[in-house]
Amino acid sequence: MTVTFRPLLAGLGLSAALLASASTQAQDVDKAIEYRQGALRVMAWQLGPLGDMAQGDIDYDAEAFALRANNLAAVSHLPWEGFIEGSLQGDGHDIETRAQAAIGDDWAGFEERQATFRQEAATLAEMVEAGEEFNALRRQVGAVANSCSGCHDNYRWG
Amino acid sequence: MTVTFRPLLAGLGLSAALLASASTQAQDVDKAIEYRQGALRVMAWQLGPLGDMAQGDIDYDAEAFALRANNLAAVSHLPWEGFIEGSLQGDGHDIETRAQAAIGDDWAGFEERQATFRQEAATLAEMVEAGEEFNALRRQVGAVANSCSGCHDNYRWG
């Protein structure tokens, strides 16, 4: 099979270089998906205790709250560069993703929602820095969570 | 089987509450491993272009370099809280990990190496901020990469 590979490709109008390039692109897409999934997991981890405190599931701890709010704001701009062309559902890559193809039809809307989330997360960190009271912080956690849902409801499957 | 479950547990001296607690802990360990793997993946993604530029594999781009250096410094403190008790190799959790059990025998050494990495990443971002030349930045990328290896060589399998 190996000896007939190059002639076969040549017959199909393909070159080894082109194939190598396509393979690199596929690998890039896989890595981009894994990157964004990692970054979103980090965001969820940081948001978790904020949500738990806001909902009264765990006690409010000002130090822990500040740490999580700062971490969340610090990573809020990271995941989005991983949503590259060819990385959505049905794009034929090797990684399972819940990123719906609808993102590709509404890139501007997707980016707008990212910006809303980044703004809400930044506001939360600023409110902590300004020493605002827990009730106000609690409401802002709600605004952050809503901005997550604003995207998930439209662009994430399941 | 369902109806005999509680009596069986009672006979073994276990309670449903205890089991639930053990299950929650196992889930916590799994989540902590997935969290740190996500955070380390984010770090690797940010470090990648810095290494490529430092080694001349891609052209030096001051803006991209600054972005990656800042992102790397911003996330350099994140992964470590995911290395919790019961989350190393052989600890019987459900997630594949390369974190060697040796970490558990040398926690202080592990933390020291984390601190070295954080310091090297912070130094790189400060050097960018100070407008240092590419040759100096390049050497500092080497220092950052060495601090990664300092940990991986000792505590990561494969």
Give B126's Cβ-side CA count (13 Å radius).
Answer: 6
CB distance B109 to B154 below 8 Å = yes
Predicted TM-score (pTM) above 0.95: no
Could you tell me which chain B residue has the CA closest to the CA of A36?
Answer: B42
What pLDDT tens digit does each residue of chain A (158 aa) get?
333 333 333 334 444 444 455 667 788 999 999 999 999 999 999 999 999 999 999 999 999 999 999 999 999 999 999 999 999 999 999 999 999 999 999 999 999 999 999 999 999 999 999 999 999 999 999 999 999 998 899 898 86
In whole angstroms, give the CA distance from residue A139 to residue A116. 16
pLDDT band at B3 (very low <50, low <70, confident <90, very high): very low
Nearest Cα of chain A lies from the Cα of B155 at a distance, in angstroms, of 21
Q: Is A38 within 8 Å of chain B by CB?
A: yes
Query: A123: which residues sit within 8 A by CB, 6+ positions away?
Result: A140, A143
Looking at residue A31, what DSSP letter applies?
H
Could you tell me which chain B residue has the CA closest to the CA of A45?
Answer: B35
Q: Which two tokens stand for residue A93?
A: 């890559």
Give the per-residue pLDDT at A50: 98
Query: B40: which residues sit within 8 A by CB, 6+ positions away?
Result: A38, B79
Which of A31, A34, A45 lies closest to B35 in CB terms?
A45
Give the per-residue pLDDT at A24: 72
Q: Give CA torsion, residues A117, A119, A124, A127, to 10 deg.
A: -170
Give the per-residue pLDDT at B127: 98
Give the per-residue pLDDT at A80: 96
Would the CB atoms of A39 and B42 count as touching at under 8 Å?
A: yes
Q: Is B157 within 8 Å of chain A by CB?
A: no
Helices marked H in chain A: 2-11, 16-54, 62-75, 102-105, 107-129, 134-155
Give the per-residue pLDDT at A1: 32
Give the per-residue pLDDT at B14: 42
Would the CB atoms of A75 and B34 count as touching at under 8 Å?
A: no
Which residue has tokens 């919790």? B84
Give the per-residue pLDDT at A53: 97
pLDDT band at B26 (very low <50, low <70, confident <90, very high): confident
Contacts of B84 in chain A (CB under 8 A): none
In whole angstroms, give the CA distance from residue A88 to residue A103. 8
Which of A34, A74, A75 lies closest to B41 in CB terms?
A34
In whole angstroms, give the CA distance from residue B149 to residue B113. 10
Give the per-residue pLDDT at A139: 98
Would the CB atoms of B41 and A38 count as touching at under 8 Å?
A: yes
